[in-house]
Structure 1
Amino acid sequence: MTQTQTQGSKSFILSITLVATLGGLLFGYDTAVINGAIEALKVFFVTPLQTDNALALQVLGEYKIIISLCFIVVSLLVSSFMFRMYGKTKGMIYSALVIIIGAVIWYTQFWVSVNEISENTLNSINGFTISSAIIGCIIGGSIGGYVSQNIGRKRGLVLAAVLFTISALGSAMPEILNFFGASTISSFIFYRIIGGIGVGIASMLSPMYIAEIAPANIRGKLVSGNQFAIVFGMLIVYFVNYFIALSGDDNWLNEIGWRYMFASEIIPALFFLVMLYFVPETPRYLIMKSREEEAEGLLNKIVGTSKAPQLMIDIKESLKEKNAPWLTFGGLIILIGVLLSVFQQFVGINAVLYYASEIFRNMGNDTDTSLLQTILVGAINLIFTVLAIFTVDKFGRKPLMIIGGVGMGVCMFALGAAFYFNQLGLVALFAMLGYVAFFAMSWGPVTWVLLSEIFPNSIRSAMSLAVAAQWIANMMVSWTFPMMNDNSWLTAQFNHGFSYWIYGLMGILSAIFVWKIVPETKGRSLEDMQKLWKK
């Protein structure tokens, strides 16, 4: 018997996890493609509303309907989480409370107040158009647990790849593929939401797939590889957007160029779809579905024939309560999962990644220079993500998260001060790059490692709640950033610096949260985590 047979094949593990990380690459590609098109989308979709009253009234009506439908969908998803956590009786009571409170806020703060095209309304429509994919991400992240349990990890990723492809086509040609009789902007939003559902599913299933395939001693490194793929996808699309922008002037970019940016996603989406044909399902899902012979053969390849029998026993034991309520291990694990996700977004990373070109324009740069500097942001993101990959299994999860949280807080306070005092030279640039570096070495990849590790097998689908919370927080940050950044009063008072101070405070709070509450998961098997939470 060869050493590979007794210890498992590293080349086999690496090859199938590389395919899974393509889901992360498309996650990064789809979320960052908007960066190069922000100004173009504003000019193409939002600016005409200031002069065309009939169009403005139509768009305003559709906007209110879309937001209302999104509210209903998110409310139903939150209700489903309540039932999974508290059971039928309590779940019904808590769901009713959430829906009533949400309905009051929706009616008083949105439906009644948004009735005319004002500066705030235009900023809100612009922010929602840019961040609309995140509504899909919330849906995709919420149903990720259901998808993973019912059609499997692999076929869930296939579904995500199909949705990526549809979104790329529809976002690039919202007029031609407008089958709804609605305005063009509503058609564009619909296809961005479709792509967001794919992102939400992939954001959960890619790290889950890798975590269930990877041996414990290299799991942190391989799951961090998913974050590397995310930021690599972002870097690729930054280059794509830059070279597309060079192909014409601003008028061409505002009319035609942005379409090529979204259409470019078709290539990696189809490649991902084809490559998924060659990877297996995860052993834990196979055992869950009583396909034990397939699972045993796969485990022999992953961990070797010497360890596979015991791992089979451990997995079976952990899956005895495969439909266990999410609060089986108490509420702390759910709280930790949700807060990890929320803090990852509340530190403001997607305000930087989505609006990097806009931030650089606020520093006084033209479009081409802004997009070129955005590539620098992507490169820093990639370099420091690699640093995290090579340190997460050595130093542990908690030290990296604490250092990263403090570092991000300091850099965001510095960036806000640079805007406030109008010192928008190297100080602002280095503060922004430093912030991205600290995020990339900590909260970017390590959050996904922790989320893939802390949930025991019997409540693994509870990860969907954490992922949904992450996308809701992402939506809040992405939607509110242009509302804060473009608000006349806030700009007059803080000179675009206000939002960065908010993100800086969140960075400090995130470090305190990890220091006080989050357990270290370094070196523990997924089955060990179940024993930890039982204690």
Structure 2
Amino acid sequence: MSQDEQQRSGTLTLTLMVASAAIGGTLQYGYNLAIMNAPTTFIQTFINETFVERWAIQLESYQVTLVWTIIVSIFSLGGLGGALIAGPMSIRFGRKKCLLLNNIFLLSGAFLALTSRAAGSVEMIILSRALVGINSGISMNVQPMYFGESAPKHLRGAASLSSAVFTAFGVVLGQVVGLKEILGSEWCWQYLLASNAIPGLIQLLTLPWFPESPRYLLIDRGDKEACINALRRLRGCEVQSSELAEILQEQAETKGMRASQPWELFQDRSVRWQLITVVVISSAMQLCGNDSIYFYAAYVFKEAGISNDQIQYVTIGTGTCEFTACIICNLLIERKGRRFLLMGGFIFMTIWAIVFTIALSFEHLVSWMPYLSMGCIFTYILSFGMGPAGVTGILPTEIFNQTARPAAYMIAGSMMWLNLFIVGMIFPFLVNEMRQYCFVPFGTVCLLSALYVGLVLPETKGKSLSAITGEFHKLNFKNKQKTYSPRSQYQLGEVCTSTSL
């Protein structure tokens, strides 16, 4: 087999590994967000009927809405719990095994959802959504880590960004499956809620055939032979000494260091600006209001004159926009870089938030303004998909070392899920109180985030961890005369000269 054929074989193995992990991973996040829109009225009716049968109590409209809000919001709280346990799980079991074990939460939740109607139990639906949230919280943290540690440097961004592509694909898939012609009808909403088990089963059948993260095998487990074998399978050829040397350098720099805890990162000055960056960007991903705009889309489409029967089909276009944008971003990220796409996405979102506010302000005065509002929804989501949706998940992999990476993902995931919960709770009040100005706060967040990226975040494309750490070192110790020097530089020289494959 020629070298080109070997490299193509390795690329195919990496691609299939990414697909296997993502189908049962971040796809679940987008899918479980989308499938809750279609059965809203059916589940609310079920809630009322359950209370009547149990206690002969006819719930008021606001009481039904309150129970429904709990069902929806518990997903975010479950995700927060999943983000908190993702780090310890990925350290103890490894990246691949952690993703496989994560399906226990998913399948348990799917079973509860499937049997909730027959059992006449609203509580089972709530518990089901919490378990599915835990599953999504773990996969949203561990999957980008797995991809970033397994892909070669020139494909690291594209591989990690595929997490966002599959999230967007999950949204579209959930919107399609939720159509009334498929599973979005009154008699089968329980099957819709339980349909997330299918991607999980696919992952359980396929992911065991692929290798563990090479960096985890060498740095965390100290198994050099297993690391080399994993690299050979993922590259399709003999391992390049430069790639192994980079992993050995990271191992030497973290030698004798245990995995960091989240609170320890807050006390470590050497990662201060890396941590601030992760907190800011992960928070902005939800505070920009992109997920909330999905809920607001139905109102705008209705104002534009689209009938209620057709709104569900038009809404699929919103998910399709983000899916398309994420694919384009995947193709551009290794050419344009992370910083360019992230800052550009936030700038365009700021612009469209302003236009959206103007369109909403004049929608009753100018006949075509509702259509401009509709266009703003699609362009806002496109801008989000082109930058923040994908790049955010890559950053912790590229700016933290192996010992700090799981804790960094725990913090990033916690901020994302916590802010998703907050925005989900306050968005209806923003719409009611601020009306046409409801997207001004989101636009402000996008503008401030773009400024932060432009002023603080260095470009990480194609750079080693040592080079990236050196750039952050200038920020972390800018007031002190201290030169960055990897502690393992001498050790690395010995390692590289004694390692030839």
Whether TM-score is above 0.5 comes out as: yes
Q: What corresponds to 2:131 in structure 1?
A: 194
Q: What corresponds to 1:164 in structure 2?
A: 106
Paired residues for 1:207-356 under 5 Å? 207-242=144-179, 245-246=180-181, 253=185, 255-287=186-218, 288-303=220-235, 304-307=238-241, 308-320=243-255, 321-324=257-260, 325-326=264-265, 327-328=267-268, 329-353=270-294, 356=297
Query: Partners of 1:530 and 1:10 in 2: how far apart?
Result: 28
Structure 1 residues without counterparts, runs of 5 or longer: 58-116, 179-183
After alignment, is 305-314 or 398-407 more displaced?
A: 305-314
Asked if structure 1 preserves the Cα contact closer than 8 Å seen for 2:150 and 2:213, the reply is yes
Shift in Å at residue 348 of structure 1? 0.5
1:354–1:277 CA distance, 2 compared to 1 (3 A)? farther
Asked if structure 2 preserves the Cα contact closer than 8 Å seen for 1:5 and 1:305, the reply is no
Shift in Å at residue 50 of structure 1? 11
Asked if structure 2 preserves the Cα contact closer than 8 Å seen for 1:169 and 1:262, the reply is no
Asked if structure 1 preserves the Cα contact closer than 8 Å seen for 2:165 and 2:323, the reply is yes
* Counterpart check, 1:37 vs 2:36: no
- 1:41-92 per-position Cα deviation (integer Å, ceiling 9, x unaligned): 34443799899997589xxxxxxxxxxxxxxxxxxxxxxxxxxxxxxxxxxx
SS at match of 2:222: coil
Query: Partners of 1:152 and 1:56 in 2: how far apart?
Result: 50
SS at match of 2:30: helix
Letter in 1 for 2:446: G
Q: What corresponds to 1:104 in structure 2?
A: none
- 1:350-391 per-position Cα deviation (integer Å, ceiling 9, x unaligned): 112355446544656444312101111111111111111111
SS at match of 1:386: helix
Shift in Å at residue 310 of structure 1? 1.6
Asked if structure 1 preserves the Cα contact closer than 8 Å seen for 2:10 and 2:233, the reply is yes
Query: Partners of 1:190 and 1:297 in 2: how far apart?
Result: 41
Paired residues for 1:55-204 under 5 Å? 55=57, 119=62, 124-176=66-118, 184-204=121-141
Instruction: Give the CA RMSD over aligned residues.
Output: 3.0
Paired residues for 1:365-444 under 5 Å? 365-423=306-364, 425-444=370-389
Letter in 2 for 1:456: N
Paired residues for 1:353-364 under 5 Å? 353=294, 356-357=297-298, 360-361=301-302
What is the TM-score when the length of structure 2 is the normalising length? 0.83
Letter in 1 for 2:207: L
What is the TM-score when the length of structure 1 is the normalising length? 0.78
Shift in Å at residue 281 of structure 1? 1.2
Q: What corresponds to 1:449 in structure 2?
A: 394
Query: Partners of 1:512 and 1:319 in 2: how far apart?
Result: 33
1:532–1:459 CA distance, 2 compared to 1 (3 A)? farther
Query: Partners of 1:230 and 1:145 in 2: how far apart?
Result: 21
Shift in Å at residue 319 of structure 1? 3.3
Query: Partners of 1:331 and 1:147 in 2: how far apart?
Result: 25
SS at match of 1:422: coil
Query: Partners of 1:51 and 1:192 in 2: how far apart?
Result: 23
- 1:251-278 per-position Cα deviation (integer Å, ceiling 9, x unaligned): x93x434323212222222112211221
Alignment partner of 1:205 out of 142, 166, 176? 142
Query: Partners of 2:315 and 2:227 in 1: how far apart?
Result: 44
Query: Partners of 2:119 and 2:141 in 1: how far apart?
Result: 29
Shift in Å at residue 229 of structure 1? 0.9
Letter in 1 for 2:420: N
Asked if structure 2 preserves the Cα contact closer than 8 Å seen for 1:6 and 1:306, the reply is no
SS at match of 2:239: coil
Asked if structure 2 preserves the Cα contact closer than 8 Å seen for 1:134 and 1:472, the reply is yes
Asked if structure 1 preserves the Cα contact closer than 8 Å seen for 2:155 and 2:334, the reply is yes
1:337–1:55 CA distance, 2 compared to 1 (3 A)? farther
Shift in Å at residue 441 of structure 1? 0.3
Shift in Å at residue 470 of structure 1? 0.6
Query: Partners of 1:173 and 1:428 in 2: how far apart?
Result: 41
* Counterpart check, 1:461 vs 2:397: no
1:165–1:428 CA distance, 2 compared to 1 (3 A)? same
- 1:424-450 per-position Cα deviation (integer Å, ceiling 9, x unaligned): 631111010010110010111111122
Alignment partner of 1:505 out of 432, 440, 444? 444
Matched residues, number? 457
Query: Partners of 2:295 and 2:139 in 1: how far apart?
Result: 19
Shift in Å at residue 172 of structure 1? 3.9
Asked if structure 2 preserves the Cα contact closer than 8 Å seen for 1:5 and 1:300, the reply is no
Asked if structure 2 preserves the Cα contact closer than 8 Å seen for 1:398 and 1:514, the reply is yes
SS at match of 2:192: helix
Asked if structure 1 preserves the Cα contact closer than 8 Å seen for 2:303 and 2:370, the reply is no
- 1:450-490 per-position Cα deviation (integer Å, ceiling 9, x unaligned): 233222222112221111111101111122223444x4xx3
